[in-house]
Amino acid sequence: MGYGGNDQSCATSNDCRGLGTSHLGETCNGEGQCVYSCSSDSDCTSRWPTEAHAGERCVSNTCEHTHDPLVLDRDAFRLVVAQFANHGINLHILRGSAQPHSHVVSQRSNAEMTISCEGASVASGKVGLGRYAASFYDLKALGNPDKLNVAYHYAIFSHYSSCDSSAHRPGNAGNSSNCQDSGLDLWPGRSC
């Protein structure tokens, strides 16, 4: 995923402060999103806790983050490559192009996404590339480096996979999820 905001909704700045220590100093903007004002990249990366804001940059006076593991740690894949090598497999990692930032990557099509699963729907206007929720299959089609489509596996680093909150997680008793696949899980990407 490319750089983007934190996608945390708010009605007041108190809502942003209530999200935890990683959100200290954030305010609620006119679009109902928590933002941290900045004038340089160092304003973003020096926020406490610094590990939660590594790789952030200042864009239009607002801090934006990335899920790009190589921006966060140049050796991010070293241990993965070594583990494959231990099993006699030469793993080659090819970077695709950065995809538009979304909060949730769903295994369902745009038309199948709902508020009570991904946190967005086509009707809400928050589904699609670069919006709150995007389909893995739309993202994969944009970044497909394999002309034969047989030799590659894909990984997308994002906030959440499938559901946007534990309340929407199919495996939770008493939830309001309408996700069809009870195997879908909440996979936190980077702490926000």
Say what the pLDDT of residue 184 is: 46
Report the alpha-carbon distance of residue 38 to residue 10 in Å, rounded: 19
Does 5 reside within a domain? no
Q: Which domain holds residue 30?
A: 13-66
In this structure, the answer to whether residues 128 and 168 fall within a common structural domain is: yes
- Quick one: 64 exposed, middle or buried, by C-beta within 10 A (0-12, 13-18, 19+)? buried
Write out the H or E segment, with its range, that includes residue 15.
helix 13-17
Tokens (6 digits) for 21: 């220590």
Say what the pLDDT of residue 3 is: 85
Does 115 reside within a domain? yes
In this structure, the answer to whether residues 189 and 116 fall within a common structural domain is: yes
Say what the pLDDT of residue 147 is: 60
* Average pLDDT of the residues in 104-118: 87
Answer with the one of 46, 66, 86 that is the final residue of a domain.
Answer: 66
Does 4 reside within a domain? no
In this structure, the answer to whether residues 61 and 107 fall within a common structural domain is: no
Does 134 reside within a domain? yes
Residue 163 clears pLDDT 80, i.e. is over it: no
For the chain, give the mean pLDDT: 80
Q: How confident is the model at residue 179 (pLDDT cuts 50, 70, 90)?
A: low
Does 29 reside within a domain? yes
Does 171 reside within a domain? yes
Radius of gyration from C-alpha coordinates of the chain: 18
Range 172-177 contact pairs with CB under 8 angstroms and sequence separation of 24 or more: 176/116, 177/116, 177/117
Tokens (6 digits) for 184: 């879908």
Residue 104 main-chain phi, psi, to 5 deg: -125, 135
Residue 62 main-chain phi, psi, to 5 deg: -135, 135
Q: Which amino acid is at 90?
A: N
On whether the CB atoms of residues 69 and 58 are closer than 8 A, the answer is no
In this structure, the answer to whether residues 129 and 54 fall within a common structural domain is: no
> Looking at the 3D structure of the chain, how many domains does it have?
2
Does 114 reside within a domain? yes
Does 117 reside within a domain? yes
In this structure, the answer to whether residues 104 and 21 fall within a common structural domain is: no
Render pLDDT for 45-102 as a digit per residue (tens, 0 to 9): 999 888 888 889 999 999 998 878 888 788 889 999 999 999 999 988 877 777 888 8
Say what the pLDDT of residue 192 is: 24
In this structure, the answer to whether residues 37 and 103 fall within a common structural domain is: no
In this structure, the answer to whether residues 36 and 109 fall within a common structural domain is: no
In this structure, the answer to whether residues 58 and 104 fall within a common structural domain is: no
Is the pTM higher than 0.75?
A: no
Placement of tokens 């900045």 in the chain? 38
In this structure, the answer to whether residues 190 and 108 fall within a common structural domain is: yes
Residue 154 DSSP SS3? coil
